[in-house]
Amino acid sequence: MVVARQFQNGALAWFDPRGREIAIFAYATSFYWLPQAMLAFVPQLANALGRSRASRRVCLKFTVGASAVLTLPMILAGFTPAGKQLLGRALGIAEPAVLEQVAAYLRWLAPMIVFNGVRHYYTGLLVQARRTGVVAALNVTHVPLVAIALAAGLLLKWSAVPTILLAQIVPLGLQMIAAWVLFRAFYREPLEPEEEQLTLAKTAHFFWPVALTGLMFAFTRPIIYSFVNRVASEDPKPVIAALRVGFDLAVLFQMASNQFRHVFVTFGSRHLPGLRKFMRRVVFVVTALMLVVALTPLKTLFFGRVLGLDSPVREYAGHVLLAMCAVPTIIAWRNYYHGLAMIHRRTVGMGIGGVARNSAAFALSWAFLAAGWLGHPAVAAGVLVCAFTAEASAVILATWSWRRRLPAELRHDVN
Protein backbone atom coordinates (compact mmCIF):
# COMPACT_ATOMS: atom_id res chain seq x y z
CA MET A 1 0.00 0.00 0.00
CA VAL A 2 2.95 2.29 0.56
CA VAL A 3 4.05 1.53 -3.00
CA ALA A 4 0.76 3.09 -4.13
CA ARG A 5 1.86 6.39 -2.58
CA GLN A 6 4.74 6.49 -5.03
CA PHE A 7 2.22 6.30 -7.89
CA GLN A 8 0.27 9.17 -6.33
CA ASN A 9 3.42 11.25 -5.97
CA GLY A 10 4.29 10.53 -9.60
CA ALA A 11 0.83 11.64 -10.77
CA LEU A 12 1.09 14.83 -8.71
CA ALA A 13 4.54 15.52 -10.16
CA TRP A 14 3.05 15.07 -13.65
CA PHE A 15 0.71 17.98 -12.90
CA ASP A 16 3.62 20.12 -11.64
CA PRO A 17 7.25 18.83 -11.66
CA ARG A 18 8.29 21.70 -9.37
CA GLY A 19 6.34 20.13 -6.50
CA ARG A 20 3.41 22.53 -5.99
CA GLU A 21 0.70 19.85 -6.27
CA ILE A 22 2.71 17.43 -4.12
CA ALA A 23 3.03 20.10 -1.43
CA ILE A 24 -0.73 20.83 -1.48
CA PHE A 25 -1.59 17.15 -1.16
CA ALA A 26 1.01 16.86 1.61
CA TYR A 27 -0.82 19.60 3.55
CA ALA A 28 -4.15 17.82 3.08
CA THR A 29 -2.90 14.36 3.99
CA SER A 30 -0.94 15.63 7.00
CA PHE A 31 -4.34 16.59 8.47
CA TYR A 32 -6.20 13.60 7.00
CA TRP A 33 -3.79 11.17 8.62
CA LEU A 34 -4.47 12.51 12.12
CA PRO A 35 -7.79 10.62 12.48
CA GLN A 36 -6.56 7.82 10.21
CA ALA A 37 -3.54 7.25 12.41
CA MET A 38 -5.76 6.94 15.48
CA LEU A 39 -7.37 3.96 13.73
CA ALA A 40 -4.03 2.39 12.76
CA PHE A 41 -4.14 0.17 15.85
CA VAL A 42 -7.65 -1.18 15.16
CA PRO A 43 -6.09 -4.39 13.70
CA GLN A 44 -4.26 -4.95 16.98
CA LEU A 45 -7.45 -4.16 18.93
CA ALA A 46 -9.45 -6.72 16.94
CA ASN A 47 -6.56 -9.21 17.16
CA ALA A 48 -6.08 -8.89 20.91
CA LEU A 49 -9.70 -8.42 22.09
CA GLY A 50 -11.93 -10.02 19.45
CA ARG A 51 -11.65 -13.56 20.80
CA SER A 52 -15.35 -14.49 20.70
CA ARG A 53 -18.42 -13.64 18.65
CA ALA A 54 -19.70 -11.28 21.36
CA SER A 55 -16.33 -9.57 21.72
CA ARG A 56 -16.03 -9.10 17.98
CA ARG A 57 -19.41 -7.38 17.89
CA VAL A 58 -18.24 -5.01 20.62
CA CYS A 59 -15.00 -4.29 18.72
CA LEU A 60 -16.87 -3.64 15.46
CA LYS A 61 -19.40 -1.36 17.15
CA PHE A 62 -16.57 0.56 18.80
CA THR A 63 -14.62 0.81 15.51
CA VAL A 64 -17.56 2.18 13.52
CA GLY A 65 -18.48 4.66 16.28
CA ALA A 66 -14.92 5.89 16.71
CA SER A 67 -14.47 6.24 12.94
CA ALA A 68 -17.66 8.28 12.62
CA VAL A 69 -16.60 10.63 15.41
CA LEU A 70 -13.16 11.09 13.85
CA THR A 71 -14.69 12.32 10.59
CA LEU A 72 -16.03 15.45 12.32
CA PRO A 73 -12.76 17.47 12.28
CA MET A 74 -12.41 16.66 8.59
CA ILE A 75 -15.93 17.90 7.89
CA LEU A 76 -15.34 21.11 9.83
CA ALA A 77 -12.04 21.82 8.06
CA GLY A 78 -13.44 21.01 4.64
CA PHE A 79 -16.87 22.67 4.77
CA THR A 80 -16.82 25.55 7.25
CA PRO A 81 -14.99 28.90 6.89
CA ALA A 82 -13.90 28.80 10.54
CA GLY A 83 -12.49 25.30 10.10
CA LYS A 84 -10.54 26.29 7.00
CA GLN A 85 -9.19 29.36 8.74
CA LEU A 86 -7.98 27.31 11.71
CA LEU A 87 -6.41 24.77 9.35
CA GLY A 88 -4.57 27.52 7.48
CA ARG A 89 -3.21 29.00 10.69
CA ALA A 90 -2.15 25.62 12.06
CA LEU A 91 -0.24 24.63 8.92
CA GLY A 92 1.01 28.13 8.13
CA ILE A 93 -0.73 28.25 4.73
CA ALA A 94 -0.90 31.88 3.59
CA GLU A 95 -2.20 31.49 0.02
CA PRO A 96 -6.05 31.37 -0.20
CA ALA A 97 -5.97 29.28 -3.40
CA VAL A 98 -3.75 26.66 -1.78
CA LEU A 99 -5.97 26.53 1.33
CA GLU A 100 -9.12 26.10 -0.78
CA GLN A 101 -7.55 23.20 -2.67
CA VAL A 102 -6.51 21.57 0.61
CA ALA A 103 -10.11 21.91 1.87
CA ALA A 104 -11.41 20.34 -1.37
CA TYR A 105 -9.27 17.28 -0.73
CA LEU A 106 -10.51 17.02 2.86
CA ARG A 107 -14.19 17.19 1.88
CA TRP A 108 -13.88 14.03 -0.16
CA LEU A 109 -11.36 12.23 2.05
CA ALA A 110 -13.63 12.34 5.12
CA PRO A 111 -15.64 9.15 4.27
CA MET A 112 -12.39 7.25 3.86
CA ILE A 113 -11.94 7.27 7.64
CA VAL A 114 -14.92 4.93 8.14
CA PHE A 115 -13.84 2.76 5.20
CA ASN A 116 -10.36 2.35 6.65
CA GLY A 117 -11.64 1.69 10.17
CA VAL A 118 -13.81 -1.21 9.03
CA ARG A 119 -11.03 -2.54 6.77
CA HIS A 120 -8.56 -2.43 9.67
CA TYR A 121 -11.03 -4.34 11.88
CA TYR A 122 -11.35 -7.26 9.48
CA THR A 123 -7.62 -7.21 8.75
CA GLY A 124 -6.90 -7.65 12.47
CA LEU A 125 -9.17 -10.67 12.64
CA LEU A 126 -7.51 -12.24 9.60
CA VAL A 127 -4.10 -11.74 11.27
CA GLN A 128 -5.50 -13.26 14.47
CA ALA A 129 -6.45 -16.33 12.42
CA ARG A 130 -2.87 -16.30 11.04
CA ARG A 131 -4.11 -15.65 7.52
CA THR A 132 -1.37 -13.12 6.82
CA GLY A 133 -0.98 -14.41 3.27
CA VAL A 134 -4.60 -13.43 2.62
CA VAL A 135 -3.92 -9.98 4.11
CA ALA A 136 -0.86 -9.61 1.88
CA ALA A 137 -2.87 -10.58 -1.20
CA LEU A 138 -5.53 -8.03 -0.27
CA ASN A 139 -2.95 -5.29 0.19
CA VAL A 140 -1.20 -6.09 -3.08
CA THR A 141 -4.44 -5.36 -4.96
CA HIS A 142 -4.22 -1.77 -3.69
CA VAL A 143 -1.38 -0.92 -6.08
CA PRO A 144 -3.11 -1.83 -9.39
CA LEU A 145 -6.37 -0.27 -8.20
CA VAL A 146 -4.60 3.02 -7.47
CA ALA A 147 -2.70 2.87 -10.75
CA ILE A 148 -5.87 2.23 -12.75
CA ALA A 149 -7.74 5.07 -11.00
CA LEU A 150 -4.85 7.49 -11.60
CA ALA A 151 -4.59 6.47 -15.25
CA ALA A 152 -8.34 6.99 -15.68
CA GLY A 153 -8.15 10.49 -14.23
CA LEU A 154 -5.19 11.42 -16.42
CA LEU A 155 -6.78 10.00 -19.57
CA LEU A 156 -9.98 11.93 -18.86
CA LYS A 157 -7.80 15.04 -18.40
CA TRP A 158 -9.16 15.75 -14.94
CA SER A 159 -7.38 18.18 -12.64
CA ALA A 160 -5.24 17.02 -9.73
CA VAL A 161 -7.96 17.01 -7.06
CA PRO A 162 -10.51 14.64 -8.70
CA THR A 163 -7.74 12.42 -10.11
CA ILE A 164 -6.07 11.85 -6.75
CA LEU A 165 -9.39 11.50 -4.93
CA LEU A 166 -10.56 8.83 -7.36
CA ALA A 167 -7.37 6.93 -6.55
CA GLN A 168 -8.26 7.13 -2.84
CA ILE A 169 -11.98 6.40 -2.81
CA VAL A 170 -12.18 3.47 -5.26
CA PRO A 171 -9.35 1.30 -3.83
CA LEU A 172 -10.26 1.80 -0.17
CA GLY A 173 -13.97 1.20 -0.78
CA LEU A 174 -13.29 -2.02 -2.68
CA GLN A 175 -10.76 -3.18 -0.10
CA MET A 176 -13.22 -2.66 2.74
CA ILE A 177 -15.72 -4.93 0.96
CA ALA A 178 -13.01 -7.47 0.09
CA ALA A 179 -11.76 -7.62 3.70
CA TRP A 180 -15.27 -8.51 4.88
CA VAL A 181 -15.62 -11.19 2.20
CA LEU A 182 -12.23 -12.72 3.08
CA PHE A 183 -13.10 -12.67 6.78
CA ARG A 184 -16.29 -14.60 6.07
CA ALA A 185 -14.37 -17.11 3.98
CA PHE A 186 -11.22 -17.70 6.04
CA TYR A 187 -11.77 -16.74 9.68
CA ARG A 188 -11.64 -19.45 12.34
CA GLU A 189 -12.30 -19.05 16.05
CA PRO A 190 -9.08 -18.76 18.13
CA LEU A 191 -8.05 -21.76 20.23
CA GLU A 192 -7.27 -19.61 23.27
CA PRO A 193 -10.35 -18.99 25.45
CA GLU A 194 -11.44 -15.44 26.12
CA GLU A 195 -10.25 -14.25 29.53
CA GLU A 196 -13.18 -11.95 30.38
CA GLN A 197 -16.32 -10.49 28.88
CA LEU A 198 -15.53 -7.49 26.72
CA THR A 199 -17.39 -4.20 27.03
CA LEU A 200 -17.20 -0.89 25.18
CA ALA A 201 -15.57 0.65 28.25
CA LYS A 202 -12.84 -2.00 28.31
CA THR A 203 -12.34 -1.60 24.58
CA ALA A 204 -11.95 2.16 24.98
CA HIS A 205 -9.51 1.65 27.87
CA PHE A 206 -7.34 -0.52 25.61
CA PHE A 207 -7.73 1.74 22.61
CA TRP A 208 -7.19 5.31 23.81
CA PRO A 209 -3.46 5.00 24.64
CA VAL A 210 -2.67 3.29 21.32
CA ALA A 211 -4.91 5.78 19.47
CA LEU A 212 -2.94 8.57 21.11
CA THR A 213 0.21 6.85 19.90
CA GLY A 214 -1.11 6.85 16.34
CA LEU A 215 -2.30 10.45 16.63
CA MET A 216 1.09 11.55 17.91
CA PHE A 217 2.74 9.77 14.99
CA ALA A 218 0.56 11.62 12.49
CA PHE A 219 1.11 14.94 14.27
CA THR A 220 4.84 14.90 13.59
CA ARG A 221 4.61 15.73 9.91
CA PRO A 222 2.17 18.66 10.37
CA ILE A 223 4.45 20.08 13.07
CA ILE A 224 7.46 19.97 10.75
CA TYR A 225 5.46 21.29 7.77
CA SER A 226 4.08 24.13 9.86
CA PHE A 227 7.54 25.32 10.91
CA VAL A 228 8.99 24.89 7.40
CA ASN A 229 6.13 27.07 6.08
CA ARG A 230 7.32 29.82 8.40
CA VAL A 231 10.82 29.99 6.90
CA ALA A 232 10.64 33.48 5.41
CA SER A 233 13.71 33.31 3.17
CA GLU A 234 12.30 31.02 0.45
CA ASP A 235 9.24 29.36 -1.06
CA PRO A 236 8.42 26.42 1.24
CA LYS A 237 6.60 24.29 -1.34
CA PRO A 238 9.71 22.63 -2.90
CA VAL A 239 10.92 21.71 0.59
CA ILE A 240 7.49 20.39 1.60
CA ALA A 241 7.31 18.38 -1.64
CA ALA A 242 10.77 16.90 -1.01
CA LEU A 243 9.82 15.96 2.54
CA ARG A 244 6.63 14.32 1.30
CA VAL A 245 8.28 12.13 -1.35
CA GLY A 246 11.36 11.43 0.80
CA PHE A 247 9.29 10.41 3.80
CA ASP A 248 7.00 8.26 1.64
CA LEU A 249 9.91 6.37 0.09
CA ALA A 250 11.46 5.90 3.54
CA VAL A 251 8.17 4.47 4.85
CA LEU A 252 8.37 1.82 2.13
CA PHE A 253 11.48 0.46 3.86
CA GLN A 254 10.12 1.00 7.36
CA MET A 255 6.96 -1.06 6.85
CA ALA A 256 8.76 -4.30 7.72
CA SER A 257 9.66 -2.87 11.12
CA ASN A 258 6.09 -1.67 11.65
CA GLN A 259 4.76 -5.23 11.35
CA PHE A 260 6.62 -6.36 14.48
CA ARG A 261 3.63 -5.23 16.56
CA HIS A 262 1.50 -7.84 14.78
CA VAL A 263 4.20 -10.49 15.22
CA PHE A 264 4.53 -9.98 18.97
CA VAL A 265 0.77 -9.81 19.62
CA THR A 266 0.14 -12.93 17.51
CA PHE A 267 2.89 -15.12 18.96
CA GLY A 268 2.85 -13.69 22.48
CA SER A 269 5.68 -13.74 24.96
CA ARG A 270 6.60 -17.41 24.55
CA HIS A 271 9.11 -16.92 21.74
CA LEU A 272 10.79 -13.62 22.55
CA PRO A 273 14.46 -14.66 22.10
CA GLY A 274 13.75 -16.01 18.62
CA LEU A 275 11.57 -13.03 17.74
CA ARG A 276 14.31 -10.59 18.78
CA LYS A 277 16.84 -12.46 16.62
CA PHE A 278 14.42 -12.38 13.69
CA MET A 279 13.81 -8.66 14.23
CA ARG A 280 17.53 -7.83 14.16
CA ARG A 281 18.01 -9.71 10.88
CA VAL A 282 15.07 -7.99 9.21
CA VAL A 283 16.27 -4.55 10.33
CA PHE A 284 19.78 -5.22 9.03
CA VAL A 285 18.51 -6.23 5.58
CA VAL A 286 16.03 -3.35 5.35
CA THR A 287 18.60 -0.73 6.40
CA ALA A 288 21.18 -2.11 3.97
CA LEU A 289 18.71 -1.88 1.09
CA MET A 290 17.75 1.65 2.09
CA LEU A 291 21.40 2.73 2.15
CA VAL A 292 21.97 1.22 -1.29
CA VAL A 293 19.24 3.46 -2.67
CA ALA A 294 20.23 6.57 -0.68
CA LEU A 295 23.96 6.41 -1.49
CA THR A 296 23.81 5.51 -5.18
CA PRO A 297 22.33 7.02 -8.37
CA LEU A 298 19.22 4.92 -7.71
CA LYS A 299 17.78 7.81 -5.71
CA THR A 300 18.25 10.20 -8.66
CA LEU A 301 16.72 7.60 -10.97
CA PHE A 302 13.66 7.24 -8.74
CA PHE A 303 13.03 10.88 -7.84
CA GLY A 304 13.99 12.21 -11.28
CA ARG A 305 13.08 9.62 -13.90
CA VAL A 306 10.32 7.67 -12.14
CA LEU A 307 8.53 10.48 -10.29
CA GLY A 308 9.57 13.15 -12.79
CA LEU A 309 10.62 15.78 -10.25
CA ASP A 310 12.67 18.80 -11.28
CA SER A 311 15.50 20.45 -9.35
CA PRO A 312 15.81 21.35 -6.54
CA VAL A 313 13.05 19.03 -5.27
CA ARG A 314 14.83 15.99 -6.70
CA GLU A 315 18.08 16.70 -4.82
CA TYR A 316 16.26 17.71 -1.66
CA ALA A 317 14.37 14.40 -1.61
CA GLY A 318 17.65 12.48 -1.78
CA HIS A 319 18.92 14.33 1.29
CA VAL A 320 15.73 13.46 3.16
CA LEU A 321 16.05 9.77 2.31
CA LEU A 322 19.67 9.61 3.52
CA ALA A 323 18.73 11.20 6.85
CA MET A 324 15.90 8.69 7.27
CA CYS A 325 18.18 5.64 7.01
CA ALA A 326 18.50 5.56 10.81
CA VAL A 327 14.75 5.21 11.33
CA PRO A 328 14.14 1.44 10.66
CA THR A 329 16.36 0.48 13.61
CA ILE A 330 14.76 3.04 15.92
CA ILE A 331 11.18 2.10 15.15
CA ALA A 332 11.92 -1.64 15.28
CA TRP A 333 12.93 -1.39 18.93
CA ARG A 334 10.05 0.98 19.62
CA ASN A 335 7.61 -1.52 18.10
CA TYR A 336 9.17 -4.36 20.06
CA TYR A 337 8.20 -2.59 23.28
CA HIS A 338 4.83 -1.64 21.76
CA GLY A 339 4.16 -5.33 21.17
CA LEU A 340 5.07 -6.20 24.75
CA ALA A 341 2.81 -3.44 26.03
CA MET A 342 -0.14 -4.83 24.08
CA ILE A 343 0.58 -8.40 25.20
CA HIS A 344 0.43 -7.28 28.84
CA ARG A 345 -2.33 -4.69 28.12
CA ARG A 346 -0.22 -1.87 29.56
CA THR A 347 -0.49 0.57 26.67
CA VAL A 348 -0.24 3.88 28.56
CA GLY A 349 3.50 4.02 27.88
CA MET A 350 2.80 3.99 24.17
CA GLY A 351 0.82 7.19 24.50
CA ILE A 352 3.58 8.75 26.61
CA GLY A 353 6.06 7.88 23.87
CA GLY A 354 3.90 9.65 21.29
CA VAL A 355 3.80 12.78 23.42
CA ALA A 356 7.59 12.63 23.82
CA ARG A 357 8.07 12.38 20.07
CA ASN A 358 6.01 15.42 19.23
CA SER A 359 7.42 17.44 22.09
CA ALA A 360 10.88 16.76 20.67
CA ALA A 361 9.73 17.58 17.12
CA PHE A 362 8.18 20.87 18.24
CA ALA A 363 11.16 21.92 20.35
CA LEU A 364 13.75 21.08 17.68
CA SER A 365 11.72 22.67 14.87
CA TRP A 366 11.34 25.85 16.89
CA ALA A 367 15.06 25.91 17.74
CA PHE A 368 16.18 25.27 14.15
CA LEU A 369 13.74 27.85 12.80
CA ALA A 370 15.11 30.43 15.23
CA ALA A 371 18.66 29.52 14.16
CA GLY A 372 17.75 29.80 10.46
CA TRP A 373 18.54 26.15 9.68
CA LEU A 374 15.10 24.68 9.00
CA GLY A 375 14.98 25.67 5.33
CA HIS A 376 17.09 22.67 4.32
CA PRO A 377 15.02 19.45 4.07
CA ALA A 378 17.80 17.27 5.52
CA VAL A 379 17.55 19.29 8.75
CA ALA A 380 13.77 18.87 8.79
CA ALA A 381 14.21 15.10 8.25
CA GLY A 382 16.74 15.08 11.10
CA VAL A 383 14.07 16.54 13.34
CA LEU A 384 11.88 13.52 12.57
CA VAL A 385 14.74 11.09 13.31
CA CYS A 386 15.39 12.77 16.68
CA ALA A 387 11.66 12.69 17.43
CA PHE A 388 11.54 8.92 16.79
CA THR A 389 14.52 8.49 19.12
CA ALA A 390 12.77 10.45 21.88
CA GLU A 391 9.65 8.32 21.47
CA ALA A 392 11.54 5.01 21.59
CA SER A 393 13.42 6.12 24.71
CA ALA A 394 10.19 7.09 26.47
CA VAL A 395 8.49 3.78 25.61
CA ILE A 396 11.48 1.79 26.86
CA LEU A 397 11.58 3.72 30.14
CA ALA A 398 7.83 3.25 30.61
CA THR A 399 8.21 -0.52 30.02
CA TRP A 400 10.98 -0.77 32.59
CA SER A 401 8.71 1.05 35.03
CA TRP A 402 5.75 -1.33 34.81
CA ARG A 403 8.06 -4.34 34.50
CA ARG A 404 9.25 -3.78 38.08
CA ARG A 405 5.64 -4.22 39.27
CA LEU A 406 5.12 -7.56 37.48
CA PRO A 407 5.28 -10.87 39.36
CA ALA A 408 8.77 -12.35 39.25
CA GLU A 409 7.74 -15.24 37.00
CA LEU A 410 6.58 -12.82 34.26
CA ARG A 411 9.53 -10.46 34.25
CA HIS A 412 11.52 -12.54 31.76
CA ASP A 413 8.86 -11.71 29.17
CA VAL A 414 10.02 -8.12 28.82
CA ASN A 415 13.80 -8.37 28.88
Ordered alpha helix ranges (H), 234-326: 237-258, 260-267, 272-294, 298-300, 313-323
Query: Does residue 312 surpass a pLDDT of 80?
Result: yes
Confidence of residue 203 (pLDDT cuts 50, 70, 90): confident
Q: How far apart are CA 410 and CA 168, in angstroms?
A: 45
pLDDT at res. 177? 92
Instruction: Please tell me the predicted confidence (pLDDT) of residue 413.
Output: 52
Torsion of CA 272, 274, 278, 279, to 10 degrees: 20
Q: Is 60 exceeded by the pLDDT of residue 306? A: yes
Predicted model pTM: 0.78
What pLDDT shows up at residue 193?
58
User: Cβ contacts of residue 323 below 8 Å, gap of 6+?
Assistant: 378, 381, 382, 385
Q: What is the pLDDT of residues 216-232, one digit of tens each?
A: 778 888 888 888 888 75
Q: Residue 129: is its pLDDT beyond 90?
A: no
- What mean pLDDT is predicted for residues 43-62? 86
The mean pLDDT value of the chain amounts to: 85
Q: What is the DSSP string of 116-183?
A: HHHHHHHHHHHHHTT-HHHHHHHHHTHHHHHHHHHHHHHHTT--HHHHHHHHHHHHHHHHHHHHHHHH
pLDDT band at 192; cut points 50, 70, 90: low
> What is the per-residue pLDDT across 379-393, written as a single tens digit (0 to 9) for each?
888 888 999 999 889
Share of the chain above pLDDT 70, in %: 92
354 Cβ contact partners less than 8 Å away, ≥ 6 residues apart: 212, 213, 214, 215, 216, 217, 391
Higher pLDDT, 287 or 127: 287
Please state, in angstroms and rounded to a whole number, the distance separating the CA atoms of residues 133 and 299. Answer: 30
Burial class of residue 299 in the structure, from the number of CB atoms within 10 Å of its CB (0-12 exposed, 13-18 middle, 19+ buried)? buried
pLDDT tops 80 at residue 411:
no
Higher pLDDT: 150 or 339? It is 150
Which pLDDT does position 55 carry in this prediction? 87
User: Where residue 60 falls among pLDDT bands split at 50, 70, 90?
Assistant: very high
- The total of other beta-carbon atoms located within 10 Å of residue 377's CB is 28
- pLDDT tens-digit readout, 240-287: 999 999 988 998 888 887 777 767 777 766 677 888 888 889 999 999
